[in-house]
Structure 1
Amino acid sequence: MEFGGGRKIRRSRRIEVETSYPSPLQFYSCPPTGNVSLTEFDEMAIERLKILRTVERLNLSGQVKSSDDWMNKLYDDFAKNKNFVHSAEKISSSKRDEVEAARRRDHVSHFILRLAYCRTEDLRRWFIAHETDLFRARFIHCSRNGSDIKNFMLNNNLHFTPISAEEVQKERENLVGGTYNINSGDMMEGRTFYKL
């Protein structure tokens, strides 16, 4: 039996960050395409699992999720993993390939663990809970750079209208009461609220 007969034509395909991974945040709505070696597959799964175990460890430590201390410890751990893009910084042209590869690894590794953790309901719940916390942490981190959030919302067809400063002042008490981990003193500093 012969599979794929004839000679194979190897084509190099370059994925541009602007078109495939324009934001450090992803909804993982489309499965990845392309080839991944078995070694790379294994490495990506282990990297992602370490990240999710860090999220789990921090959640079990009794710290408030998404608090400054929780976020600092999580991002300190991220810094140890050079293959995981977590930064909201602008991409310099010299780092474009590095960021592209890291965002691809993030995308592929999510789907690898998604497959691995779909066997039982308990595993699914564990995976979803920690991926949600990871997404929340990355979203909060990226929200410090408004353009990353705008790009993410635009690329995922999320059309929400930001509320004006006057409306924020008018609804200040309700916004403080309905927003997690915020006090009225720092509400205006770098925060954007959207109408839903």
Structure 2
Amino acid sequence: MLKARTVRKPTNVEEKPSFDENTFGLEYPHRLNVYDRPPAFDVTLEEFETAALDRLRVLAEIESSAVRGRSWEETKSVTGAHCKKYLPLHSSSAKYIDRDAERRKDILGHFVLRLAFSRSDELRRRFLKAELTLFKVRYDDSDMAEREAFSESRNFNWVKVDDEEKKVIRSQLFSVYSGPKATREALFKQETYLKVRWTRVPDLVSHRKVFLKGGWAYVPSREQSSIIFQEFESHLEQALLLTAKSLPRLDEDTRLDPILTNLSKGFLAGVASGWNDDQIDKDHITADMIDSLSKHFPLCMQHLHFKLTKDRHLPHFGRLQYGLFLKVLGLPIDEAIAFWRRSFSKITDDEFNKKYKYNIRHSYGLEGRKANYSALSCSQILIPSNKDSNWVCPYKHFAHENLSTALAARYQLAGTDLSEVMATVKAGHPHVACTRVFEITHAAQGIKKGEGIGGGESVTHPNQYAAVSIELEKASSGTKSEAMVVG
């Protein structure tokens, strides 16, 4: 069991007591959180890692949305779907939901990732940006009562403008509004204002949405969120720097360091794979089917299949990567041996049995430790633990000219589509490029730009890519067959 250390709350943070029948009895009364109270409850190593991985899946998709240029509404929709799947956080008014359990997981995941991503300037920057977006999505999805309860629970150091001061500067405040005079009059009449130092709302100042006087910005209540977002960003930025200074002490804990290292690697790769072979209903395939099925493979596996077909051989790590992929795809052990024996046609049966058959059986858990090995995820392929040139993600490790040629040859990409994918690769987002290729090559099955492999989700695993592609073809063929029968 791990026990999170209790850290004294910063002196500049003040919480105000409030009563709400929806939050009465809750340990964590607010869905919105600036994470200034570290978790002080016991957790297992499994809970520690699971909370962080589930949150990482959400943050990775937020990054993907930014790279893909999704609109705010699209980003909200995709992030909301991922939160519902991996990180549900119901409102305080929700009934028959263990809201404290959800909020404990949310807090734990945030602080674990804070530890993992305080290790470099790049990680801190990316974590801060993704967390801020997540907070904005949750704020937008909260109702007015929940927002007000959260605002009243904290001291945001703003000053409410009274009616008398509002009358004195009425003309200046009124000038900020646009539209017909009657509409502006109605808006102004019901508006309340807050005063903060103008440096706290630079976005509102730059867009001329506030009146400035004596170093103060007069912020209408409808723009109050800008103050809250700035407070969240400022607080987290400072907290990440403080965490970075404390990291050397964590290196002594051999239980946590490997977990934190893997989390940071996954975030650098832009992928957090939550996919596993239990998530699909797969049919057994035979060795003879692999050539025809290869059209459904992502480029990394198509590359290995092409090399194996051309050279009649693959080096060790190439065999490991491709063999586990085929195993999870549904290739049973007897068919796997037949496939590899046929592929290695330049050697004798005796040489194959001595050098390769044991390793194939080992990967299926039939030899050695008899472990059931999983296929490699995108994060493992993007940041390999070896120097073998066959263990690669083409979108990250190929020369740009070679990648462009491969995309044109394997997927017939050209023109705007090819340019868009290559631009994403050059910007350093290989998983987004792979996801975009999936969308382009499955447009005939109804996949649209931005939908990814479904619901806006990005590719995080080669088997995930292949499984969804195969299922889409089955569904499309079924629809065509039904149409023919009806006709």
Tell me the TM-score normalized by structure 1: 0.69
Question: Judging changes above 3 Å, is the alpha-carbon distance between structure 1 residues 169 and 163 closer, same or farther for their aligned structure 2 residues?
Answer: farther
Match of 2:29 among 5, 22, 29: 22
Contact 2:52 2:113 in 1 (8 A): yes
C-alpha distance in structure 2 between counterparts of 1:56 and 1:162, whole Å: 38
Secondary structure of the residue aligned to 2:134 is helix
C-alpha distance in structure 2 between counterparts of 1:163 and 1:147, whole Å: 22
Question: Judging changes above 3 Å, is the alpha-carbon distance between structure 1 residues 141 and 39 closer, same or farther for their aligned structure 2 residues?
Answer: same
* Counterpart code for 2:47: E
Match of 2:222 among 173, 192, 195: 192
Q: How does 1:101-120 map to 2 (within 5 A)?
A: 101-120=101-120
Question: Judging changes above 3 Å, is the alpha-carbon distance between structure 1 residues 159 and 103 closer, same or farther for their aligned structure 2 residues?
Answer: same
Question: Judging changes above 3 Å, is the alpha-carbon distance between structure 1 residues 163 and 37 closer, same or farther for their aligned structure 2 residues?
Answer: farther
- Paired-residue identity, %: 24
Q: Report the Cα offset of residue 41 of structure 1.
A: 0.5
Contact 2:29 2:92 in 1 (8 A): no
1:40-89 residue CA offsets vs partner (Å, 9 max, x unmatched): 1010010111010011111111123xx222211221222222x431x446
Q: Which structure would you say has the larger RCO, counting Cα contacts within 8 Å and 6 or more residues apart?
A: 1
C-alpha distance in structure 1 between counterparts of 2:157 and 2:43, whole Å: 35
C-alpha distance in structure 2 between counterparts of 1:193 and 1:163, whole Å: 17
C-alpha distance in structure 2 between counterparts of 1:162 and 1:147, whole Å: 21
Which is higher, the Rg of structure 1 or of structure 2? 2
Question: Judging changes above 3 Å, is the alpha-carbon distance between structure 1 residues 41 and 129 closer, same or farther for their aligned structure 2 residues?
Answer: same
Q: Counterpart of 2:474?
A: none
Q: Report the Cα offset of residue 158 of structure 1.
A: 2.8
1:73-113 residue CA offsets vs partner (Å, 9 max, x unmatched): 221222222x431x446222x22xx2110111101110000
Secondary structure of the residue aligned to 1:27 is coil
Q: Counterpart of 2:298?
A: none
Contact 1:52 1:131 in 2 (8 A): yes
Indicate yes or no: 2:68 matched with 1:70. Answer: no
Contact 1:23 1:152 in 2 (8 A): yes
1:20-52 residue CA offsets vs partner (Å, 9 max, x unmatched): 321211000121101110011010010111010
* Counterpart code for 1:42: E
Q: Report the Cα offset of residue 162 of structure 1.
A: 8.5
Match of 1:49 among 50, 56, 64: 56
Q: Counterpart of 2:46?
A: 39
Contact 1:118 1:124 in 2 (8 A): yes
| Residue correspondences, number | 159
Aligned Cα RMSD in Å? Answer: 3.0
Q: Counterpart of 1:127?
A: 127
Indicate yes or no: 2:91 matched with 1:84. Answer: no
Question: Judging changes above 3 Å, is the alpha-carbon distance between structure 1 residues 36 and 48 closer, same or farther for their aligned structure 2 residues?
Answer: same
